[in-house]
Structure 1
Amino acid sequence: MKKRNWLLVLGLTLAMLLAACGSGEGTSTSNGNAGGSGSGSGDGDADGGTKNISVVLKTLSSPYWKYVEAGAKKAGEDLGVNVTIVGPSSEAEIIQQVNMLEDQLSQQPDAIVVSPTQPDTVIPVLEDASSQGVPVLLIDSDADFEGKVTFIGTENYDAGQEAGKEIASKLQPGDKVVLIAGALGNPATDARIKGAKDALEEAGMVIAAEQPADSDKAKAMSVMENILEAEDDIKAVFSANDDMAIGVLRAVEAANLDIIIYGTDGTEEAVQSIIDGGLTGTIAQNPYNMGYEGVKSALAAANGETVEERIDSGVEIITSENAQKQLEFLQSLSN
């Protein structure tokens, strides 16, 4: 009997361990004590204890958000901060992000860094956090939330404008351009599309189609295939992110067409595609710095320090002329 009971306890213990390992999907952590000698800068111990910062991203499944994650982790190591990073399985999982945000708030972090996919859906949770005295910082995508400490990221409308001007410089007035948007209601991708559209129309281009593809390669490929069946003589495409631009490229190559294609984000895959003669260019953001600055500013806010109300992380146009340099930089982040 004793042996049977012992085996039962062992089995239950193993089951609990396996469940704990499985629950880590969509979650990563950075222990601030693991990155140095323990003294560090001392920032994480300003009030006598290591700070806990929660970072809730739109997803952890795409290269762009991996760069944000890497920056946040490095900040945690450098500053002696415990950083927990979570994100849904895709940017289309809006309710999943809300649930993750609620879960992180229930763990009483010292500050929360959020990149809202649809701001309206998370504002009630952000207001709850603010009412509890938890500083809320937004990165990549802004929200109409008065309680936020700061917004850190690209001015997405301006990024779209830069893309529109760059594309227009390669075309003639009257040429047809296609716009591929992200998930409906995503403020970052919506702003990029609006900026590009305004710049293109001002330059005399014709917007032949404007369709969402949920920031997904496969959907973007399908959307572009349908557009190519309905429209002829398309000269250029602007995509609100690089994953969709790659999907567009696949559809264009399958149709054996020569079309200018620009994405947004500056991911390693997109930059490599430019080098290989696929994509024409991408509007590169600085997601690594967004993640790093998000945690750094969250720590400052948690310590009662003043943080700038808006921090622009800037953009850079990547073409065949500077793609190799950009690729080397991105590869250095994963080394």
Structure 2
Amino acid sequence: MKVFFVSKLPIWGLVALPLLGTIYAGYLWATSGVSTFDLTLCIVLAVITEYGVTFGYHRLVVHKAFEPNPVLKAIVLGLGSMAFQGPVVHWASVHTKHHAYSDQEGDPHSPTVSGFLYAHFEWLIEMNSKELGTIIDKWGGRYLKDPMIAWFSKTFLYWSAFSLILPAALGYAVGGWAGAGSAFLWGGLVRIFLTSHVTWSVNSVCHYFGARMFTTTDKSRNNPIIGLLALGEGWHNNHHAFPASAFHGMRWWQIDLTGLTIRLYEALGLVKKVVRIPESLQIKRAEQGKVVALDVQHLAMTEDGPPLMPEEIDEAA
């Protein structure tokens, strides 16, 4: 299967250039300040592109936690493609393998197996085109059957370019060429730095620091800081206990901003077939202190569906 985008140079650029841009932006902020426009642009683009990853790439594509309206689906896949985290089929395939071998040999980014920094970003640099192609060959077919996912995967570079052109164009409209450069810095490089490290922290921090509500076969943990920054993804132990759940926050105090939007979309009729984990099943899972009803490796044995189908949830509850 074709690998749409990967090489050492672009990956190094993904890690190094946003870092350098953020250092420079910090210097400018300290010496001359930052405009409200640039700061707002950075925050808004960071939130909506990160949302495209958590809502679109993760809960929708990989885990099929709900069925969205086609227009909503296209919007979030476009936003996710603007996040500079790879084509959706690449992201989904690697994440599927992560669930299949979580914190075991074969996990692409386990801090338990390979160390914290490797899980955070070094795996991106180490993974070559052949290895990624093998992962996509094994796990990507289920996703590429969807024409929309295939199209957004093939057009990923255009969406990435657009995510840099857009802030520059808005900055130019507000402040000419100087405004374009400043907006590119904040809405482009700083934004990519922030969203990349937030997502990478789910792979590293949330398998290392935090509490565990459920016993799973891996070391996943709930981290409230990453939970907030990653729009709900930081309740990672909950997610590994119930991968198909549309909601990662399973207590009222576990803030899951992505989950809140799913509830809103459901009320508006924009999503349906939302996967919920009954409280009785959550309690059973927590009290028994062992894996019941679901094992994280179930995903490896499921050709097309999510790791726990709604009817299985009903039976287990």
Same fold (TM over 0.5): no
- Computing the radius of gyration from Cα coordinates, the structure with the larger value is 1
Higher strand share: 1
Higher helix share: 2
Tell which has more relative contact order, 1 or 2 (C-alpha 8 A, sep 6+).
2
TM-score, normalised by the number of residues in structure 1: 0.24
TM-score, normalised by the number of residues in structure 2: 0.25
